[in-house]
Amino acid sequence: MVISPSKLNTYLMFKLPAAFFTGVRTKALNENSCVVQVKHRWVNQNPFRSMFWAVQGMAAELSTGALVMTKIKASGRPISMLVASNNATFSKKATGVITFTCKEGHLIDAAIEKTIASGEGQTVWLNAKGVNKEGVEVSDFNFEWTLKLKTK
């Protein structure tokens, strides 16, 4: 099965309902990048009438995680993935439609190659920036993904 934006959005509905009900949606996915959007609404706002930081985090994590899932599937190997750590900065109130983009598929390729070649777990830091419809950055997320060959 090929991983596509529509399949990821259906997956969210059943496996990650908090992300689905807050409006997180995958818009584009290819071998090098993933684009995820979320619209500021009543259900995902904080008391300051902007998007709650955790909703932004779900969208940002999905933009990096979907790329990792796609690369693992393409490798044909049983590889586990897990977020080991993350950090974020917020520079502007998140209102309207916020678009998170990760363009670091090449970093995942290198980590998967090392994992397969060495048999040892690897880590890779992936970045997702959130921008509003004016193109102004509202948040910047980094996720440290661990990749490890599954044992039988």
pLDDT, tens only, 61-117: 999 999 999 999 999 999 999 999 999 999 999 999 999 999 999 999 999 999 999
The answer to whether the CB of 12 falls within 8 A of the CB of 19 is yes
Structure tokens at 103: 């363009």
Looking at residue 83, its pLDDT comes to 98
Looking at residue 51, its pLDDT comes to 97
Tens of pLDDT, residues 121-146:
999 999 999 999 999 999 999 999 99
- Residue of 47, 52, 49 whose CA lies nearest to 22: 52
DSSP structure string for 9-38: HHHHHHH-HHHHHTT-EEEEE-SS-EEEEE
101/2: higher pLDDT: 101
Whether residue 151 has pLDDT greater than 90: no
Q: What count of other Cβ atoms lies within 10 Å of the Cβ of residue 145?
A: 23
Contacts of 47 (CB under 8 A, 6+ apart): none
Looking at residue 2, its pLDDT comes to 80
Whether residue 43 has pLDDT greater than 70: yes
What does pTM read for this prediction? 0.94
Whether residue 1 has pLDDT greater than 70: no
